[in-house]
Homo-oligomer: A and B are copies of this chain.
């Protein structure tokens, strides 16, 4: 569960809600416009349907829930696990890893170790694991792309809605009393478009990008770890190699890197 996403979204909505209530008082309900929401959200969905393959569009919900309910894996623990496997391999032979990794959190480890145990050619192992890494990165990139598209098309439909409203208003300028409310209504779609993009779609796209980076880092550590174990590296070397992926403050050697 990603608390920051929930809190951030709630905070953003509260702030805009507060701005509306403190400014409009009892008229605040005038800010609710089903037709504006329909144009902006519906329009963004329509354009994403055209721009993305259908299968990808249908998976948008899954990507969204990933941004919300992602359980962060500990890099520290992953490295400890891999160093542990290196020790087992050193002590009991690489074949004993088949049992040891049976309950590994990440099936990517199981797959890699299994290939090492099977005596697959190291180059082939690395190639297969890197292929998989690239494929994961590409799938994630596309998921992020759906929300980037929403963030691009929602404001565009907001502007289209506002232009329609302005034209309607301008065609009926005989009654000056109607000008203000007409323009207010027209601006609502721009407001909705901007809110939908900046409070929802773009930050979610950014978070999916960050999640992707995290996951690729973990997978990269696994690949380096498996290759290192496979080549029979000393567990201390394995640890030294993998620790470089940790920020200095998380290394338990007490050393401190000069970053200030």
Contact = CB atoms under 8 A, between A and B. Distances in A.
A148 to B, nearest CB: 10
Contact of A171 (B131, B165, B180, B258): B180
Contact of A24 (B12, B171, B203, B205): B171
The dominant DSSP class at the A interface is helix
Contact of A153 (B47, B198, B245, B259): B198
Interface in A109-142: 111, 124, 127-128, 131-132, 135-136, 138-139, 142
Interface in A80-128: 105-108, 111, 124, 127-128
Given A187-B163, A247-B135, A54 B255 contact: no
A206 B52 contact: yes
A160 B15 CA distance: 11
A168 B23 contact: yes
Given A11-B42, A164-B19, A49 B170 contact: no
A171 B30 contact: yes
Contact of A163 (B12, B190, B213): B190
A130 to B, nearest CB: 9
Interface in A227-260: 237, 240-241, 244-247, 255-260
Given A11-B46, A53-B207, A167-B191, 11 more contacts: A11-B49, A15-B43, A18-B39, A19-B165, A46-B199, A139-B247, A160-B198, A167-B184, A170-B180, A171-B184, A174-B177
